[in-house]
Amino acid sequence: METTLIILKPDAVQRGLIGRIVARFEDKGLRIVGCKLMTISGELAATHYKDHQGKPFYAGLVRFMTSSPVVVLAVRGNGAIAVARGMMGATFGSKANPGTIRGDFGVSNSFNLIHGSDSPEAAVRELGLFFRDGEVVDWPRAADAWIYDHAAGTPE
């Protein structure tokens, strides 16, 4: 099982989309193992987006991400990173396919509603930034037996 970081950005929170977006992950069969509402500090935003420092959009991105509360999620499942990124859709809402989070809820090329880790390495780093020890909870979910085929001994 893989765990990924998902951030429901200020535009998703302000538009009242938290429940609808979280429900999509749960409906898909992914498990929420960490969740909190928070306001990202400038320092945390700078650390999280350090790879974008020096790019023309960096200052605006940090300003946006610190402008209003966000919801940070730790989401777990088989191939959770790829599954979540597929559910999110293309970066810009105007280019995202219908049926994806950005395709169904976004049209902006600036406000894109959601962030998801793009690799296992990024997930480990990002989860460590937003969750302290003990805030990601590994809990057994009875429904996993009905979400994943365990006949081969591992979930698939």
**Catalytic member of 48, 52, 115, 150:** 115
Stretches where the chain sits below pLDDT 70 are: none
Sign of torsion over alpha carbons 37, 83, 19, 60:
positive
Q: Is 115 assigned a catalytic role?
A: yes
Sign of torsion over alpha carbons 143, 144, 147, 152:
negative
Query: Could you tell me the pTM of the whole model?
Result: 0.94
At 11-30, the pLDDT tens digits run 999 999 999 999 999 999 99
At 79-104, the pLDDT tens digits run 999 999 999 999 999 999 999 999 99
pLDDT for position 79: 96
